[in-house]
Amino acid sequence: MTQTGLTRYTGSWRGRALCAASILALMTALPSTLALAQGLPGYNLYGSPGLIDMPTAGPAPDATLATTVSRFGDTTRATLNFQITPRLSGSFRYSAIENFPAPGNVNGRYFDRSFDLRYELLTETQTLPAITVGLQDFIGTGLYGGEYLVATKELVPGLRVTGGLGWGRLGSYGAIGDTGDRPAELLGQGGVPTYDRWFRGDVAPFGGVSYSPNKSLTFKLEYSSDDYVQESTTGQFDRESPWNYGIDYRFNNGNQLSLYHVYGTEVGAQFTLFTNPKRAQVPGGTETAPLPVAVRSPAAVQDLGWTTDSAATSANAKSALKSSLEREGLVLEALKLEPRRATIRLRNPRYGAAPQAIGRTARAMSRVLPASVEEFVIVPVVNGMAMSAVSIQRSDLEALENDAATEMLAKARILDGYNMAPAPEAGLYPRFTWAFNPYIALSAFDPDNPVRADAGVRLKADYRVLPNLVLSGAVTKKIGGNLDDVTRNDPSGLPRVRTDYAKYSKEGDPAIEHLTLAAYGRPGKNLYSRVTLGYLEEMYAGASGELLWKQVGSPLALGVELNFVKQRDYDQMLGLRDYEVLTGHASAYYDFGNGFHGQLDVGRYLAGDYGATVALDREFANGWRVGAFATFTDVSYDDFGEGSFDKGIRLSIPLGWVLGQPSRQANNAEIKSLTRDGGARLNVDGRLYEQVRDYHRPELAKTWGKFWR
């Protein structure tokens, strides 16, 4: 039996309300987003660079994210493909085959999940072809399992020729030899690497040609080495010929529409949508320009006359600076004014790129502070915690305004903000905020219904008793949906710590989504802390504590989290169930550079299992993140159930990229092929690392180009 894999969308209230907008923007990328549309390859029915059903060599432009939906005969495939590096790409595919009586068949349909990897061994030159090696369905049941080595070369402009050798499915027709024995059965649980099959068994040639008379049209002819044995013998697929024919139409924004005649009997169609996180929807953004830096006269620099009435001058400067920053969408919480130095406590609710907030703050300071003040110390605070302290010499600000931002970064000093932020001024706290907005909860990959969703409204409120003490709650009311229709019961040797979500959806209407009291702190230099008490998430209540160590200039951070929780009643009100668990992790975070970031969590999970989660993300300066994770615990594959271990893909789409306006909000999606009880973690808000890293030097350096924006 298969359990649903949840696709989670998280973020602030505005982020959730605009989730649909960002997904729409992702799927219908504007032409400006795909300036390299001419460099896009054709994509095949598997959602990878290819001809019709066979692969071709060569990558897509770096960081291309492609979503393909294809249909032919009784087969429907949906694939997400990402160009991870200039040479390496990966795919996640979800397929539905009708009239296919295999184990796991539901109402005549068989659903399959699979992962691919492909790597460019040789880049095409004037004399040499591109050569790519690929693993198809290397983590899955093996239904689409196959490996290939393929070469592609453009002979004359528009005419490309492809030839390759395939194993597995791609070696099942017209074999010319073999490379040993290859297991043929489908893997019952799936989800594990099929390394014992790679490049083994019969090997067969495939190939084809494509011709593009212009930028929009491509005609294709292909010889396929896939015999479709499973579909032909157990289903209703009739394969009469190895020859496939097709035509691609490329829209101006790069998206691809394809029509095919395949295997002598079937007609197929597919649509491929592209975007590229490296290219903004609105390059540069549409926000208003900041005020220019006010340049002092040499004589005014030495004037300290204002210090005879420093209290009045400080009050006037604070009022003027506060008004100026409010127009920029920033909040001045405190100002400490000295003859040669000004230190401010800054809250940034608007700018996703922290250097943009710092740059606009520095400009505003240059316009209102006495001319003798040479050093600007800007201390951003998040949840009452001082992050870094950015020290800028005013003379550098004046001299470098029209130079590259990197020049300013070289001059700035970025320090630990511990004990450097002045106390917030009176009247700012307590502070109450609230929001009323729609929400959507999605579920994917349930065999009875591949896509499920609940939709409703959420009332959320935060009461900040102190800058670092937050009382927060949210209540939801479902308007409609079918998440509670999941009826499959897949018993395992584990407590049902996540797989009862259908009961929570059915009985939790209305529901207290969370009700917590969170305290944040700076217990010492390089240290950050969080303690959260209450109803922590939809399924668990209890206490959560966290301590993070991170030096302001280091790519490494270390953290530890400990939680004691009890399972909540299904109605998601105030009652609790009997199940309780002590769970926690030690974590290491590392910025590898070149846009790659890794995380390792080791500890105990909600079901009481012990293990580790490893995650790798590719991150972009505009806030985009695309990554994958996998969790391995001491739970056996049999006890875990279908999927064998927890794994998934995660995306973070910044709203600023979608809207062209500065925003600290993002839509975060976690796509899991299955939701199981093994390797499950607590979903508690306010974890420290993502709050802290934005204001430390490695992350500031990535987006420092926004300093003068």
Task: Please name each of the domains of the chain with its CATH number.
Answer: 30-275 (2.40.160.40), 298-427 (3.30.300), 431-466+468-700 (2.40.160)
Taking residue 450's Cβ as centre, other Cβ atoms within 10 Å add up to: 17
In this prediction the pTM is 0.89
The DSSP-derived string for 191-243 is: -EE-TTTTT-SEEEEEEEEEE-SSSSEEEEEEE-----HHHHHHSS-----SE
Share of the chain above pLDDT 70, in %: 89
Predicted pLDDT of residue 106: 58
Report the C-alpha gap between 75 and 256 in whole angstroms: 19
| 534 backbone φψ class: left, alpha, beta (φ>0; ψ -120 to 50) | left
Q: What is the pLDDT of residue 680?
A: 92
pLDDT of residue 31: 38
pLDDT tens readout for residues 513-546: 999 999 999 999 999 999 999 999 999 999 999 9
Question: Residue 523's Cα: distance from chain center in Å?
Answer: 31
For residue 50, give the DSSP letter: B
Cα–Cα distance, 30 to 585 (Å, whole number): 42
Q: What is the pLDDT of residue 537?
A: 96
Reported as a single tens digit per residue, the pLDDT across 316-353 is 999 999 999 999 999 999 999 999 999 999 999 999 99
User: What confidence score (pLDDT) does residue 223 get?
Assistant: 98
pLDDT at 558: 98
List the single range of 8-17, 323-332, 404-413 with lowest mean pLDDT. Answer: 8-17
Residue 127, both tokens: 């004399």
pLDDT at 210 over 60: yes
Residue 390, CA atoms < 13 Å, CB-side half-sphere = 29
How much is the average pLDDT of 273-277? Answer: 91
pLDDT score for 7:
41
How far does CA 258 lie from the centroid of its chain? Answer: 29
Q: Is 446 a residue whose pLDDT tops 70?
A: no
Q: Is the pLDDT of residue 12 over 60?
A: no
Contact 507, 671 (CB under 8 A): no
